[in-house]
A and B are shown apart, each in its own frame.
Chain A
Amino acid sequence: MPIEVLMPALSPTMTEGKLAKWVKKEGDEVKSGDVLAEIETDKATMEVEAVDEGRIGKILVAEGTENVAVNTPIAVILEDGEDSVESKPAVEESTPKVAAQPVVQDSGARPDSTLPTGPTKGPAAAPPASDEDKFFDKTVKKTVREALRDAMAEEMRRDPTVFLMGEEVAQYQGAYKVSQGLLQEFGADRVIDTPITEIGFAGLGVGAAFRGLRPIVEFMTFNFAMQAIDHIVNSAAKTLYMSGGQMGCPIVFRGPNGAAARVAAQHSQDFTPWYASVPGLKVVAPYSASDFKGLMKSAIRDPNPVIFLENEILYGQSFEVPESEDFIVPIGRAKIRRAGTDVTITAHSLMVSYALAAAELLEKDGISAEVIDLRTIRPLDTETIVNSVKKTNRLVTVEEAWPTCGIGAELSALMMEQAFDYLDAPVIRVTGLDVPMPYAANLEKLVLPSPDRIAEAAKKACYRK
């Protein structure tokens, strides 16, 4: 059957083009790969190659013709034994002209109502259930550093596919001593010192996770994870989706995040909002040692990539931690650290301690603040925050990160969407100031949130001086 050659689209944006030149003429033999014609697209002059073998029976569009629409028949190829184009030329059976819409037309804007509503767009989903409280009848005092080590050790005993890798995690026992004793217990096959090569070992960890291992990748600090962020975002977070659900990435990226003390701009930065914006990631930023332990265990068991944001200043702080190895804290559940009635203050990581200190200050002024420790940033426990705001009608958000597009900005937008009618005052954000971190002690202090700044914001939200 004669085969029609169609005007091809030769770029993602081409809808028509000029048939600049016929390289083959009627009667010429063609085989696949032969250049038939030259076409001028919206970008360049391109060659059209034959896919089928045969002889040019008829040229349907003369050379020099402009504005030839994509998918217009431009020639007919006759196969062996055919000598006429009179019989109705049909497009080769393998290439029926169905739905040959130019790609660009498909990208047109559609009314929002036709877009399916995602899980994050509706009313706040309930956080996962938790039985964590029942384990606090028997506790022991531990530092955050010890709690993290215990969590990793317990999970490594439980699951042989779990391993730890990073700079100085093995022989040095961790740059911040978080992995103390792990090399001795689990050996060099499972506690692995890497070269200083963040994108390399982050990518290597992701590849290992594709094949079902459960790597814990330590970044000495999250500042250095910027070298590796391509693998976190493009490889770890997206592959499940890009593979249609075939290939998950059970990995934990962990390390200290945010400002330490006097280490200046390149070593003092809170990346929480960066990772929290990425679908396919979970993001955790605990405050207490028990949450560090319970959430680390959840993170290691989670089949998804988890960004586990620690804090250098918290490492040495002690908290009561349940003794039971069954104690676990689910990802996605906030915790009310202090109940109150006048204003809600949200915070995560080290900022929780500042928020609690601010609540003490506010109490002296007769203001009852409710402090919510977000614990997980993605997925955010919006329900707990909304319920609190329905009670207090006021929200102050606290974070170390810069203000623009931060967690406070997100919470503020969420309150507009989900608690607008309950707000008696604008949401107020307390954030790190919008500058790179300075080195000088006095300047550094000015950049970071403080209990005083938080208390001041809460008073403002309560219209109090």
Chain B
Amino acid sequence: MAASRRRPKAQTDSASKQAASAEDLIKYYREMLLIRRFEEKAGQLYGMGLIGGFCHLYIGQEAVVVGIQAALKDNDDVITSYRDHGHMLACGMDPKGVMAELTGRRGGYSKGKGGSMHMFSREKNFYGGHGIVGAQVPLGTGLAFSHKYNKDDGLSAVYCGDGAINQGQVYESFNMAALWKLPVLYVIENNKYAMGTSQERASAGELHQRGAAYGIPGHQVNGMDVLEVREAADKWVEYIRAGNGPVILEMKTYRYRGHSMSDPAKYRTKEEVEKMRSESDPIDNLKRVLLEGAYVTEDQLKEIDREVKAVVTEAAEFAQQSPEPDPAELWTDVLVEA
């Protein structure tokens, strides 16, 4: 994080900016803003009792998923843990369907049967939405296996947090992925806290080096800067697609909210959160790039803000108007009827 604090403006001059067109920059801004506003609205609906159970917000980490997604193709897969709303939106899933799943309604992606932690989209190649910490890593490695088996040039982007990275099954996956040269990009979203336990208290060594013994290249990336994320993703996705096997990218990022809605986040200081928000916010920083580079006017940004807000408002309305699932849905989708 220190890097981004020292040079919040450095990105304006980086090679990555050169590679990104104005159109790209605006797209990333819009996508990150959509995630931010969507999550804020989800938090509000949770507060009103319309969303229940666990609800893990992605606020602060938007640059990671937007930057990675920019490097992926339609045939590539995405899989992650339970902090998953941002990934769904970045995959192009309909905010209405995502929000309606959060409220447990018929119009949700899982017909209200999955909830915040369990959503999927066959169409958008989003494979969940998994609630057991680390379990998505072998699952995502299996997605990569099927790309290799089918020889279809696709790859799978497997996200996990700095907590999941200590699970044994992650290393079982690294081993097989390296052994069989599977097309998989492991993205560690290091937001510094595994629930309430800081990285320092839970993890020995450097996370991006966790694949070193398997010969998996690992790199640390400023996950608060969407352009740095995209640049790293572009480079290493190409490496993976060339048949070289897995890569680990550790994204240094930060979540502003608690682990879940009911987490008061007493394990860190308010000053720490405030400093991150004021100095390293991925949306504010990109906004600055856009304005300083004269890619957009203030008015154009306001128009984007309005459009994004309208999308989120529509999603929230849909999520409340969509009826609850029919009780008969209890018994469907337990098994595929042959």
Contact = CB atoms under 8 A, between A and B. Distances in A.
8 contacts: A71-B49, A95-B45, A200-B141, A203-B141, A207-B79, A210-B143, A234-B132, A303-B338
B46 interface: yes
A102 interface: yes
Contact of B331 (A46, A103, A116): A116
B264 interface: yes
Contact of A100 (B48, B172, B316, B331): B48
A204 B320 contact: no
Contacts of A32: 37, 40
Interface in B143-174: 143-147, 149-150, 168-169, 172-173
B175 A51 contact: no
B334 interface: yes
B87 to A, nearest CB: 15
A100 B49 contact: yes
Interface in A176-234: 189, 194-195, 197, 199-213, 230-231, 234
B59 to A, nearest CB: 8
Contacts of A116: 327-328, 330-331
Nearest to A94: B313
A235 B41 contact: no
A81 interface: no
Contacts of A199: 138, 168-169, 172
Interface in B38-89: 40-41, 43-50, 52-54, 59, 77, 79
Most buried by B among A14, A200, A282: A200
Given A94-B316, A116-B328, A200-B176, A6 B139 contact: no
Main DSSP-derived SS at the A contact region: loop
B113 A241 contact: yes
B317 interface: yes
A282 B335 contact: yes
Interface string A110-150: 00000110110000000000000000000000000000000
Nearest to A205: B142
Nearest to B174: A200
A245 B176 contact: no
Contacts of A95: 41, 44-45, 48, 316
A246 B121 contact: yes
A51 B41 contact: yes
Contacts of A197: 172, 175-176
Given A203-B169, A242-B120, A195 B316 contact: no
A99 interface: yes
Interface in B319-338: 320, 327-328, 330-336, 338
B218 interface: no
A10 B48 CA distance: 9
A7 B132 CA distance: 32
Given A211-B77, A211-B143, A240-B335, A195 B50 contact: no
Which 9 pairs show the lowest CB-CB distances between chains A and B?
A: A207-B142, A8-B47, A203-B138, A200-B172, A11-B262, A244-B111, A244-B110, A207-B139, A94-B313
A108 interface: no
Given A246-B120, A246-B121, A212 B146 contact: yes
Most buried by B among A9, A100, A102, A119: A9
B251 to A, nearest CB: 21
A248 interface: yes
Given A71-B49, A199-B168, A207-B79, 18 more contacts: A14-B262, A49-B43, A93-B317, A100-B48, A116-B327, A163-B149, A195-B172, A201-B172, A203-B135, A208-B143, A211-B77, A231-B135, A231-B138, A234-B132, A242-B128, A244-B120, A303-B336, A304-B336
B291 interface: no
Given A94-B313, A94-B316, A206 B176 contact: no
B47 A9 contact: yes
Given A103-B52, A204-B142, A235-B135, A8 B44 contact: yes
Nearest to A97: B48
Nearest to B108: A244
A171 interface: no
Interface residues of B, number: 77
Contacts of B130: 235
A387 interface: no
A201 B138 CA distance: 7
A204 B262 contact: no
Contacts of A98: 320
A166 interface: no
Contacts of B79: 207
A21 B271 CA distance: 18
A70 interface: yes
Interface in A46-63: 46-49, 51
B142 A208 contact: yes
Contact of B277 (A33, A119, A189, A282): A33
Nearest to A248: B336
A96 B122 CA distance: 32
Contacts of A282: 335
A251 to B, nearest CB: 10
Interface size class on chain A is 35 or more
Nearest to B131: A234
Given A99-B320, A244-B108, A44 B264 contact: yes
B256 to A, nearest CB: 7
Given A33-B256, A199-B172, A231-B135, A118 B331 contact: yes
Contacts of B28: none
B217 interface: no
A243 B139 contact: no
A189 B175 CA distance: 17
A243 B128 contact: yes
B304 interface: no
Contacts of A247: 120, 122, 127-128
B114 interface: yes
A10 B111 CA distance: 25
Interface in A5-53: 6-12, 14, 32-33, 41, 43-49, 51
A189 B182 CA distance: 13
B173 A200 contact: yes
Given A199-B172, A203-B139, A45 B264 contact: yes
Given A70-B49, A203-B169, A207-B140, A12 B262 contact: yes
Contacts of B45: 95
Contact of A9 (B48, B173, B316): B48
A204 B174 CA distance: 11
B136 to A, nearest CB: 9
A195 B334 contact: no
B109 interface: yes
B301 interface: no
A239 B40 contact: no
